[in-house]
Amino acid sequence: GESVGLHLPTLSVQEGDNSIINCAYSNSASDYFIWYKQESGKGPQFIIDIRSNMDKRQGQRVTVLLNKTVKHLSLQIAATQPGDSAVYFCAEESGYSTLTFGKGTMLLVSP
């Protein structure tokens, strides 16, 4: 498959570790954020979202934290698995029905 991860920040972890991927966003007025996972050769896949009236939201094995004071998002993946290897993007709603994506982080999980 084609690579989408050239020259991206990379996080390398061992299988079973917890992973934390960070993202800084630009617009303090942004109200809605999404984390996406993009595997090689595929389009981005929705993981979890959060609104600005929340600080934390949990899904299955994933948690998103939002710090509005410093305009920072993080995605925590518990018990990381080889299938989690992908590029992860945060995205903010930057206008009605419009998303602005961050640059992305490549997660590499070693067995």
Partner 1 sequence: ETGVTQSPTHLIKTRGQQVTLRCSSQSGHNTVSWYQQALGQGPQFIFQYYREEENGRGNFPPRFSGLQFPNYSSELNVNALELDDSALYLCASSLTSGSLNEQYFGPGTRLTVT
What residue ranges bind partner 1 (CB under 8 A)? 2-8, 32, 34, 41-46, 49, 89, 91, 93-104
Of 87, 72, 84, the C-alpha closest to 33 is: 72
**Rounded distance between C-alpha atoms, residue 67 and residue 69, angstroms:** 6
Least CB distance from residue 14 to partner 1, whole Å?
25
Q: For residues 18 and 42, which CB has a smaller minimum distance to partner 1 in the complex? A: 42
Is 104 within 8 Å of 36 (Cβ atoms)? Answer: no
Least CB distance from residue 16 to partner 1, whole Å?
28
Least CB distance from residue 47 to partner 1, whole Å?
11
Q: For residues 5 and 76, which CB has a smaller minimum distance to partner 1 in the complex? A: 5
Q: Which amino acid makes up residue 73? A: L
Q: For residues 18 and 58, which CB has a smaller minimum distance to partner 1 in the complex? A: 58
